[in-house]
Amino acid sequence: MTAIASAILAEEAQIDAVAGKAAAAARLLRHAARDFAPAAFSNSLSAEDMVVTDLIVQGGVDIALFTLDTGRLPAETYELLAEAEKRYGRRIQVFTPRHDLLEALVARDGINGFYGSVEARKACCQVRKVEPLGRALAGKKAWVTGLRAEQAVSRGGLKPLVHDETYDLVKVNPLADWTERDIWLYIRVNRLPYNKLHDRNYPSIGCAPCTRAVAPGEDLRAGRWWWESPESKECGLHVVDGRLQRLEAT
């Protein structure tokens, strides 16, 4: 067998494997929509979240779609939001920070105060992301995410289905066991739109001031809050620790 033929067979096997993972993820999403309604998907417009969006919309799964606009996202992220809405023919509900909380934060810490300390950065995330998320999840019984265990050391124990005590609902992570290669193979095969910053070495994209490109070999989230240690690189949206009780899908 030639090297080219071997490569083709390997690629086909990988495509089949991702198709199997996609089918399992779709089953989990249908389970969430059926048994934990109402369910909502927090779409950060990451590569992972474009996969989950596709699985929900193309599968006709009754799960609401929303995103958080912090007010400091890169232009490319807003462009992707518009492109996704056009592709799927539906609006993705946008939640923004409360103006009073945001004005108070900036008055106290300054426009870029989040660089000063972990506490100041988390205070910014609280106002721009966590508080809006609480409003978005109000009344929901299930919260769907695009989290993957491979993304960061703080997410190593991620399970597909858990109970989140912070919001007292079921947290659904259909891509928990997906690899970076799985994500991009699904995107390529299905020709999904994605954030063009990914082509400029931004594997993980958040607010513009808090995100940079990564160097070859760096951790996938090394560009997020790069001035902090890896252990502190969570914004408060996702708590992955002993407070999350694993559930079993049926």
Q: Tell me: the pLDDT tens digits for 193-205?
A: 999 999 999 998 9
Pairing verdict, β 245-246 and 64-68: unpaired
Helix (H, G, I), strand (E, B) or coil at 40: strand
On the CB side of 101, CA atoms within 13 Å amount to 14
Q: How far apart are CA 181 and CA 250, in angstroms?
A: 28
Chain-centroid distance of CA 35 in Å reads 22
Among 125, 207, 210, 235, the one annotated catalytic: 235
DSSP 91: P
Q: Are 178 and 21 in contact (CB under 8 A)?
A: yes
The pLDDT score that the predictor gives to residue 7 is 42
Which pTM value belongs to this model?
0.85
Cβ neighbours around 35 below 10 Å, total: 13
Q: Over its length of 250 residues, how does the chain's per-residue pLDDT go in tens digits?
A: 454 444 444 577 889 999 999 999 999 999 999 999 999 999 999 999 999 999 999 999 999 999 999 999 999 999 999 999 999 999 999 999 999 999 999 999 999 999 999 999 999 999 999 999 999 999 999 999 999 988 655 455 789 999 999 999 999 999 999 999 999 999 999 999 999 999 999 998 999 999 999 988 888 788 888 888 765 555 556 554 433 334 444 3
Distances (CA, A) of 208 to 69, 99, 125, 203, 248: 12, 19, 13, 13, 37
**Cα-atom radius of gyration of the chain, to the nearest Å?**
18
**Residue 82 burial class via C-beta count within 10 angstroms: exposed 0-12, middle 13-18, buried 19 and up:** exposed
pLDDT at 226: 85
| pLDDT for 93 | 98
Q: Where are the alpha helices (DSSP H) in the chain?
A: 3-35, 47-58, 75-88, 99-109, 118-125, 131-137, 180-190
Active site residue 235: yes
